[in-house]
């Protein structure tokens, strides 16, 4: 039967078009219930023969939720306790219109055979199709369609004894349903009846309007989308991503274009942040100049700020705190603005804990109550959630989703999603940090594993590979690999061979991952989504299934493996005569650790071919390195630590700085060379769509603070070019301070931009430069096992060298390539941060129950404290100059010299101080934090050392209480 | 349509028949032929109607678009008319054969609709004053031509305008005197044209001999010396008068003719409107019951 559906569409030019679509109705759409005897099932029925019943609904039933249930209560629908659900086509389409992420999650549920969700095509069913009536809004029509669908199911399955229940939070809709004899229930009422899964009650989304505070307007209304778009077009509003400071949650910045030039714009105070959360893309209006930020950044502790939020204190108070009264009116200050609208919300689910103070009920109570949730990420404001299990959740890490942030609520509203485990537990904390960094860490699905070679670990290189794939047989060469100890995913191997003309043939062999990972596979999709392997202190989240990563692709010694080889002819002076790329088969003769290789070089008794080869490689690497440095490559530094873990418990027992050996540099040098050669090759063949990596020159004002600090010690830093910077870094030496140079390098590293993947067609050629390596073009080719970018580069290179290579659109589509680059950049950044967080977690574990006094260097001076880096552990922390923020401090901030002065004690950049390091939890022990206190120079009122207190308490335990009280009074 | 040729004896036969109030097809002087009118048969348009008066066959499609406002009328929408005679109606319309007739009819239709005499609420078509408005494009296609074309076109156009729905717009204030608007995408949530019921109908009187007739066939048209088209609205007010052909009308006859046209037009409008509204109601009811609405479309014919 033919009907037509039409709608009005506005074209890009601004005109309207009426679109009419033919719509066919069918009479053979099955209900998909196993109990049904009427329908002709085209595929095995999804819905159970014996669906559940609840306390409130005593008969077995299927559920038909309306659209808003999916929009608002998705977490409940995703809960494994909810099964046998009919998703009407009407609902699915409405969800698709409203939110694509939710639509995708809904589809995932429909595909999950355990969930027993069935999509009923009611819009195409002859008996359930509805035409929209005159004077009926689309919403009313869809609600009616849902009711009609529910009614159809009830009638259809009546004889089987199965009821159908419409789930809707819309009271009017439920009333209409009961008027026509359709059973319905609100979500709350429904989950209350599910006594076996009480946690569902906590997962209810917070209701939209909170009538309690209805009259109390806290925030300004956001502007409409059209007003924002127009404002941005005209330049009166600035678009940017809200980035909240790690040190001060009330200070945010956006990076946007102001008066034609890119500037950092400050947003101060919650009121000006206007209900935006870290990462939101926002529209900002610049405040008048007299309200601009004028003073140095403060560090604000969150505990303190939490207090304020519970109280009734107005948000303006915070503003004043941040923007102190002692403003110099002549000072211009930094541009400061307020957020007037959100362009895109980046709200996600947050890991965190329930604030103990906000729980007021008696222990064991199961009455629902409102509590405050704090995210691990300090930049996320507290979230109000309603829970019945407040007491059992105390001390646990939980996941919470934010639902809304109405204008009359100081804090956003959210709901409980799930519990991860108890806080402090290593497994739980690791899961938290993976979730927080958006790292996909699930096991590989069966679909992905199905793409592995069927031979499994029995897979071997055969003669077929050489014959049919045009591979070069390099098995006779003395190939060896050099990696860190314990490395199982060996990406790269090297060989060198003297040629008759006195030159050398040097080959870099990279694991041939693209032989196993083909573009159309599920495995490829998964790898592209993961983007990179993530290295944590105690584990590795692989990008590829371990059969490939640590076995079939890994270039292990004495096994034949497929490789992608880059072979140069290089002369004595390390000049490249010739370069050649080929797929090959290699047989690695030895897997060295860095140390073993180093010992071979040093041990003069060793004169075998492999050792000689390494020596040649080493000498050429040194020459290559020198050339690179002459071109202006930077030698930067960042403190990296390694933990020695106890074997059973995996607890850290010792920390040491990572040490670099000459052989590290050897391997690195040839990898750089291979990457550059490959980059040139793929760019010549794919000028529009090559995946390259660039590193932009940092803007000179990034160095302002550092340069100012260095000028105090009579060192100048020339940042005009990378060469000049490298030279002045070499000169930045203080004769009596051996660590000083390293410190300067560490701080220079922080002024750098992030290196990024990009698609060659989206940038002009001068932009390709890699600043840090001082090379005009660069890419990643050498680690395809752990980076997806390298997989793409392998495909590009294969297509470049093999005229017969067949490749798909994915290698030439510029837009797709750019999108992929964006994903990889994001994943890459997240992986780095996750790695760092993991180190932090272990550092905290290491310092647990320890109090240690260590030497540290001041690397940043704030108004109410300073940041200290302790080189021994590579950790840094803030030392506050007062007991509590806001309290008077013996130190005064000297703006001119950027220093803190207390009597004759002066703290300025690069100073060496001794700090006492310990790890403190907050009151509930929910947020472990490294604490540093100033130990030397000793300043009364600041150096409140725990170690000293302990000593004194040992000797004069009797006076202890008095002493404490006095201290508080002081 | 046969070639416009008529013999003197044919002419005298018709003239005498009219004299004795008995026309060739048996009608009296002031009787219409059978009328078939159907709305909404072109789903892609904003409104459409097909009218068949005897064998004259006209299809009208209305399309509303967003356009720039005419600067001399900064707060009004516009109507643009176009009439085209299909070559299928007559062999003479092939090539440029229909150009003159097209122009005449377009101009006549425009005189009817564009201006205050049409009674339409043009101010309601304005979206942003001085900037943008709705433009109503009226496209009439003559499919078959068997006399009394203008009356048939105007009757069908009126019906199509009744069927027309204009999407709702929502205006947003961007500040600084700038506005932007959004078009609601729901077809059902659209408004009819304001005051459509005030649209006039045309009644053309054809003077043959000393008498005048309405709704002539082609042959009868060829016998008439002069025509008088009168625009009448539902109140019986005269909205326009146009004389056609070369002949002349005596002033006393003119008054009588106008009087006749007004009476005829008023009752025709009443009957038509009642039918249009009834029909629309029936369609809505059918949809409410979920039954398919089937159109006669091009199968409609006079039996």
A137 closest CB neighbour out of B176, B178, B189: B189
Helix (H) or strand (E) holding A817: helix A814-847
The Cα A142–Cα A139 span in angstroms is: 5
Q: End-to-end CA distance of chain A: give it in Å, rounded.
A: 87
Distance from CA of B78 to the nearest CA of A (A): 15
- Residue-wise pLDDT for A355-403, tens only, equals 888 887 777 677 778 888 888 888 888 888 888 888 888 888 888 888 8
Spatial neighbors of A381 by CB under 8 A, at least 6 apart, are A249, A270, A277, A309, A411, A412
The Cα A254–Cα A276 span in angstroms is: 12
The answer to whether the Cβ–Cβ distance between B43 and A10 falls below 8 Å is: no
The Cα A821–Cα A780 span in angstroms is: 12
Residue ranges of chain A whose pLDDT lies below 50: 210-211, 302-327, 954-970
For strands A472-483 and A336-344, give the pairing. Answer: unpaired
Which domains does chain A show, CATH number per domain?
Answer: 2-198 (3.40.50.1010), 219-419 (2.40.50.690), 446-688+779-831 (no CATH), 848-969 (2.40.50.140)
Distance from CA of B98 to the nearest CA of A (A): 30
Helix (H) or strand (E) holding B104: helix B99-113
The Cα A749–Cα A747 span in angstroms is: 5
User: CA A9: distance to chain centroid?
Assistant: 38
Q: Which CATH number fits domain B8-298: 3.30.230.70, 3.30.1240.10, 3.40.50.11540, 2.60.450.10?
A: 3.30.230.70
pLDDT (0 to 100) of residue A217: 67
The answer to whether the Cβ–Cβ distance between A14 and B186 falls below 8 Å is: no
Residue A534: count other Cβ atoms within 10 Å of its Cβ: 27
Are the beta carbons of A299 and A861 closer than 8 angstroms? no
ipTM for the predicted complex:
0.76
Cβ of A131 under 8 Å from any chain B Cβ?
yes
Are the beta carbons of A301 and A247 closer than 8 angstroms? no
Which of A7, A8, A19 would best serve as a mutation to test chain B binding (most B beta carbons within 10 A)? A8
The Cα A934–Cα A906 span in angstroms is: 13
pLDDT (0 to 100) of residue B134: 92
pLDDT (0 to 100) of residue A65: 93
The Cα A436–Cα A456 span in angstroms is: 34
Q: Write out chain A residues lying below 8 Å of B45, CB-based.
A: 18
DSSP class of A480: E
The answer to whether the Cβ–Cβ distance between A16 and B186 falls below 8 Å is: no
Q: Write out chain A residues lying below 8 Å of B180, CB-based.
A: 226, 230
Are the beta carbons of A11 and B183 closer than 8 angstroms? no
User: CA B35: distance to chain centroid?
Assistant: 13
The residue of chain B nearest to residue A227, with distances taken between CA atoms, is B174
DSSP class of A123: G
pLDDT (0 to 100) of residue A643: 76
Cis peptide before A937 (omega within 30 of 0): yes
Which of B127, B183, B277, B290 would best serve as a mutation to test chain A binding (most A beta carbons within 10 A)? B290
- Residue-wise pLDDT for A830-849, tens only, equals 999 898 888 888 888 888 77
The answer to whether the Cβ–Cβ distance between A230 and B184 falls below 8 Å is: no
The Cα B101–Cα A39 span in angstroms is: 61
Token readout for B139 is 């496209």
C-alpha dist (Å) from residue A406 to A46, A211, A215, A410, B189:
40, 11, 12, 8, 30
The Cα A677–Cα A801 span in angstroms is: 13
- Choose between B125 and A640: higher pLDDT: B125
DSSP class of B131: T
Phi, psi of A192 (to 5 degrees): -60, -30
The answer to whether the Cβ–Cβ distance between B288 and A132 falls below 8 Å is: no
DSSP class of A618: H
The answer to whether the Cβ–Cβ distance between B66 and A129 falls below 8 Å is: no
Q: Write out chain A residues lying below 8 Å of B175, CB-based.
A: 227, 230-231
Distance from CA of B130 to the nearest CA of A (A): 16
Cβ of B34 under 8 Å from any chain A Cβ?
no
For strands A163-167 and A184-185, give the pairing. Answer: parallel
Q: CA Rg, chain A, in Å?
A: 32
Q: Is the pLDDT of residue B93 over 90?
A: no
- The closest of A373, A345, A178 to A275, measured between CA atoms, is A345
A7 closest CB neighbour out of B182, B185, B288: B185
- Per DSSP (E only), the strands in A74-205 are 85-88, 117-120, 163-167, 184-185
Mean pLDDT of chain B, nearest integer: 88
For strands B78-85 and A905-907, give the pairing. Answer: unpaired
The answer to whether the Cβ–Cβ distance between B175 and A133 falls below 8 Å is: no
Task: Give the residue extent of every domain in chain B.
Answer: 8-298
Cβ of A227 under 8 Å from any chain B Cβ?
yes
**Sheet of strand A912-920: strand arrangement:** A875-880, A865-870, A851-862, A912-920, A929-936
Whether the model clears a pTM of 0.90, i.e. scores above it, the answer is no
The Cα B297–Cα B292 span in angstroms is: 15
pLDDT (0 to 100) of residue A11: 81
The residue of chain A nearest to residue B173, with distances taken between CA atoms, is A227
C-alpha dist (Å) from residue A124 to A2, A88, A440, B8, B108:
10, 11, 37, 65, 47
Q: Write out chain A residues lying below 8 Å of B176, CB-based.
A: 234
Q: CA Rg, chain B, in Å?
A: 21
- Residue-wise pLDDT for B216-238, tens only, equals 998 899 899 899 999 999 999 99
Dihedral, CA of residue B93, residue B94, residue B99 and residue B101, to nearest 10: 0
Phi, psi of A698 (to 5 degrees): -75, 145
A18 closest CB neighbour out of B46, B178, B180: B46
The answer to whether the Cβ–Cβ distance between A3 and B188 falls below 8 Å is: no
User: CA A34: distance to chain centroid?
Assistant: 43
Q: How many residues does chain B have?
A: 303
As beta bridge partners, residue A282 has: A240, A342
pLDDT (0 to 100) of residue B106: 95
Q: Write out chain A residues lying below 8 Å of B190, CB-based.
A: 8
Are the beta carbons of A187 and A204 closer than 8 angstroms? yes
The Cα A25–Cα A3 span in angstroms is: 8
- H helix intervals, A460-608: 463-468, 522-530, 546, 594-602
The residue of chain B nearest to residue A229, with distances taken between CA atoms, is B174
Spatial neighbors of B247 by CB under 8 A, at least 6 apart, are B207, B224, B225, B226
Spatial neighbors of A396 by CB under 8 A, at least 6 apart, are A353, A354, A419, A420, A421, A422, A423
């Amino acid at each position: 039967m033919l009907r037509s559906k039409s709608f009005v569409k506005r074209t890009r030019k601004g005109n309207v078009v009426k679109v009419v679509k033919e719509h066919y109705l069918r009479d053979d759409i099955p209900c998909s219930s196993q109990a049904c005897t009427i329908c002709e099932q085209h595929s095995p029925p999804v819905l159970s023969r014996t669906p559940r019943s609840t306390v409130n609904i005593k008969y077995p039933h299927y559920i038909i939720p309306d659209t808003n249930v999916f929009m608002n209560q998705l977490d409940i629908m995703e809960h494994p306790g909810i099964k046998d659900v009919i998703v009407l086509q009407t609902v699915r389409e409405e969800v698709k219109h409203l939110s694509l992420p939710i639509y995708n999650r809904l589809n995932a549920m429909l595909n999950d055979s355990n969930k027993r969700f069935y999509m009923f095509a009611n819009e195409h069913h002859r008996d359930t199709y509805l035409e929209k009536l005159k004077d009926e809004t689309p919403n009313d029509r869809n609600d009616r369609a849902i009711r009609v669908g529910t009614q159809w199911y009830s009638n259809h399955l009546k004889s089987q004894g199965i009821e159908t229940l419409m789930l809707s939070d819309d009271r009017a809709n439920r009333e209409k349903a009961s008027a026509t004899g359709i059973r319905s229930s609100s979500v709350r009422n429904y989950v209350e009846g599910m006594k076996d899964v009480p946690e569902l009650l906590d997962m209810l989304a917070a209701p939209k309007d909170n009538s309690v505070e209805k009259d109390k307007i806290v925030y300004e209304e956001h502007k409409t989308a059209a007003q924002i778009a127009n404002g941005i077009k005209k330049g009166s509003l600035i678009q940017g991503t809200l980035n909240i400071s790690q040190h001060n949650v009330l200070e945010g910045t956006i990076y946007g274009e102001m008066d034609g030039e890119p500037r950092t714009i400050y947003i101060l105070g919650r009121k000006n942040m206007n209900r935006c959360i870290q990462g939101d893309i926002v529209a900002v209006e610049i405040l008048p100049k007299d309200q601009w930020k004028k003073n140095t950044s403060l560090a604000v502790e969150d505990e303190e700020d939490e207090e304020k939020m519970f109280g009734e204190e107005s948000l303006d108070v915070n503003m004043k705190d941040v923007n102190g009264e002692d403003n110099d009116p002549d000072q211009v200050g930094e541009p400061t603005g307020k957020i007037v609208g959100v362009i895109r919300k980046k709200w996600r689910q947050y890991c965190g804990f329930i604030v103990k103070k906000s729980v007021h009920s008696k222990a064991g109570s199961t009455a629902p109550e409102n509590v405050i949730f704090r995210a691990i990420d300090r930049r996320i404001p507290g979230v109000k959630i309603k829970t019945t299990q407040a007491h059992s959740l105390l001390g646990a890490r939980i996941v919470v989703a934010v639902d809304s942030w109405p204008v009359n609520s100081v804090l956003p509203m959210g709901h409980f999603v799930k519990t991860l485990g108890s806080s402090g537990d290593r497994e739980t904390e690791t899961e938290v940090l993976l979730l927080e960094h958006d790292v996909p860490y699930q096991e590989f699905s069966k679909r992905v594993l199905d793409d592995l070679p069927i031979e499994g670990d029995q897979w071997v290189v055969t003669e077929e590979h050489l014959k049919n794939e045009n591979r070069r047989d390099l098995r006779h060469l003395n190939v060896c690999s050099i990696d860190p100890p314990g490395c199982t995913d060996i990406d790269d191997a090297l060989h060198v061979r003297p040629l008759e003309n006195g030159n050398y043939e040097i080959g870099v062999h990279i694991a041939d991952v693209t032989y196993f990972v083909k573009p159309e596979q599920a495995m490829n999709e998964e790898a592209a989504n993961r983007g990179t392997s993530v290295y944590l202190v105690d584990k590795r989240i692989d990008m590829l299934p371990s059969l490939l990563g640590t076995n079939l692709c890994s270039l292990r010694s004495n096994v034949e493996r497929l490789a992608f080889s880059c072979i140069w002819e290089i002369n004595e002076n390390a000049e490249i005569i010739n370069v050649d790329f080929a797929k090959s088969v290699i047989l690695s003769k030895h897997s060295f650790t860095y140390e073993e290789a180093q010992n071979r070089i040093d041990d003069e008794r060793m004169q075998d071919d492999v050792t000689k080869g390494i020596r040649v490689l080493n000498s050429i690497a040194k020459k290559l390195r020198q050339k690179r440095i002459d071109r202006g490559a930077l030698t930067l530094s960042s403190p990296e630590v390694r933990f020695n873990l106890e074997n059973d418990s995996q607890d850290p027992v010792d920390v040491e700085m990572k040490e670099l050996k000459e052989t590290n540099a050897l391997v690195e040098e040839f990898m750089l060379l291979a990457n550059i050669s490959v980059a040139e090759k793929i760019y010549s063949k794919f000028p529009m769509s090559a995946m390259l990596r660039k590193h932009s020159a940092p803007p000179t004002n990034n160095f302002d603070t550092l340069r100012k600090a260095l000028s105090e010690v009579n060192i100048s830093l020339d940042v005009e070019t990378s060469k000049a910077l490298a030279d002045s870094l070499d000169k930045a030496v203080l004769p009596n301070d051996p660590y000083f140079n390293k410190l300067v390098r560490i701080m220079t590293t922080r002024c750098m931009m992030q290196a990024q993947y990009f698609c060659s067609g989206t940038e002009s050629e001068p932009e390709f430069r890699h600043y840090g390596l001082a090379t005009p073009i660069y890419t990643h080719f050498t680690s395809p096992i752990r980076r997806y970018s390298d997989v793409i580069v392998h495909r590009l290179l294969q297509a470049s060298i093999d005229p017969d290579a067949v490749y798909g659109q994915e290698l030439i589509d510029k837009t797709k390539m750019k999108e992929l680059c964006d994903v990889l950049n994001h994943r890459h950044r997240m992986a780095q941060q996750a790695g760092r967080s993991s180190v932090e977690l272990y550092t905290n574990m290491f310092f647990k129950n320890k109090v240690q006094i260590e030497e540290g260097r001041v690397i940043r001076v704030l108004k109410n404290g300073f940041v200290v880096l302790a080189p021994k552990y590579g950790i840094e922390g803030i030392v506050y100059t007062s007991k509590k923020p806001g309290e008077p401090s013996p130190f005064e901030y000297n703006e001119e010299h950027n220093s803190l002065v207390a009597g004759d004690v002066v703290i300025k950049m690069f100073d060496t101080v001794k700090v006492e390091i310990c790890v403190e939890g907050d009151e509930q022990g929910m947020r472990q934090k490294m604490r540093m206190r100033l130990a030397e120079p000793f300043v009364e009122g600041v150096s409140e050392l725990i170690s000293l207190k302990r000593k004194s308490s040992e000797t004069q335990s009797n006076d202890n209480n008095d002493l404490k009280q006095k201290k508080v009074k002081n | 349509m046969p070639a416009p040729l008529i013999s003197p004896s044919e002419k005298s036969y018709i003239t005498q028949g009219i004299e004795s109030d008995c026309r060739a097809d048996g009608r009296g002087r002031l009787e219409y032929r059978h009328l078939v009118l159907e709305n909404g048969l072109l789903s892609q348009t904003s409104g459409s109607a097909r009218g068949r008066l005897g064998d004259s066959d006209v299809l009208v499609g209305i399309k509303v678009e967003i356009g720039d406002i005419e600067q001399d009328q900064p707060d009004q929408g516009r109507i643009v008319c176009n009439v085209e005679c299909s070559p299928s109606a007559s062999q003479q319309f092939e090539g440029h054969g229909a150009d003159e007739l097209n122009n005449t009819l377009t101009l006549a239709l425009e005189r009817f609709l564009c201006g205050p005499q049409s009674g339409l609420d043009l101010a309601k078509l304005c979206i942003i004053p001085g900037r943008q408005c709705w433009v109503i494009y009226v496209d009439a296609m003559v499919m078959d031509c068997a006399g009394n074309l203008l009356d048939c076109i105007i009757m069908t156009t009126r019906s199509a305008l009744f069927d027309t729905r204009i999407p709702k717009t929502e205006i947003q204030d961007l500040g600084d005197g700038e506005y932007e608007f959004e078009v609601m995408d729901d077809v059902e949530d659209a408004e009819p044209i304001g005051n459509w019921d005030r649209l006039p109908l045309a009644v053309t009187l054809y003077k043959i001999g000393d008498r005048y007739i309405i709704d002539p066939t082609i042959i009868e048209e060829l016998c008439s010396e002069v025509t008088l088209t009168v625009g009448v609205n539902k109140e019986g007010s005269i909205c326009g008068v146009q004389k056609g052909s070369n002949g002349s009308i005596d002033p006393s006859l003119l008054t009588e003719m106008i009087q006749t046209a007004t009476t005829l037009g008023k009752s025709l409008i009443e009957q038509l409107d009642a039918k249009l509204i009834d029909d629309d109601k029936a369609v809505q009811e059918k949809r409410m019951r979920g039954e398919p609405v089937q159109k006669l479309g091009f199968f409609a014919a006079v039996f």
